[in-house]
């Protein structure tokens, strides 16, 4: 299966509810790489790379989010992979 890069912006009640750490555990569990961070507009930004099928599963997970989150919308864009990530990390705010 092809390796792809996925960028996503998650809108809703997604900051201050453990969303970044939920995302980290989901990504690590699937073996995909990249990062997650809070954005200044109160959304969460995610960039991940991995096999397309794993990224599809990941999308389903972030659309659900942790129990305290309310995901209203997920904007997704697909790009060619860069291969620059060797793991998955949580970045600081904005």
Active-site residue, selected from the candidate residues 4, 5, 20, 24: 20
- pLDDT(67) > 60: yes
% of residues, the chain, pLDDT over 90: 94
Length, in residues, of the chain: 94
Q: Report whether 23 contacts 78 (CB < 8 A).
A: no
Active-site residue, selected from the candidate residues 4, 5, 24, 38: 38
Active site residue 73: no
% of residues, the chain, pLDDT over 70: 97
Active site residue 20: yes
pTM equals 0.92
- Look at residue 94 in the predicted model and tell me its pLDDT: 45
Measure Cα distances from 27 to 41, 46, 55, 63, 87 in Å: 23, 10, 9, 13, 9
Q: What is the DSSP letter of 32?
A: -
| pLDDT digits 0-9 by tens, 28-65 | 999 999 999 999 999 999 999 999 999 999 999 999 99
Whether domain 3-81 has CATH 3.30.70.100: the reply is: yes
């Amino acid at each position: 299966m092809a390796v792809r890069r996925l960028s996503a912006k998650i809108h809703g009640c997604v900051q201050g509810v453990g969303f970044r750490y939920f995302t980290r555990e989901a990504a690590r569990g699937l073996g995909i790489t990249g990062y997650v961070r809070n954005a200044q507009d109160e959304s969460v930004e995610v960039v991940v790379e991995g096999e397309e099928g794993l990224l599809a599963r990941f999308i389903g997970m972030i659309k659900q989010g942790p129990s305290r989150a309310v995901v209203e919308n997920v904007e997704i864009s697909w790009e060619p992979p860069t291969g620059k990530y060797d793991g998955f990390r949580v970045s600081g705010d904005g």
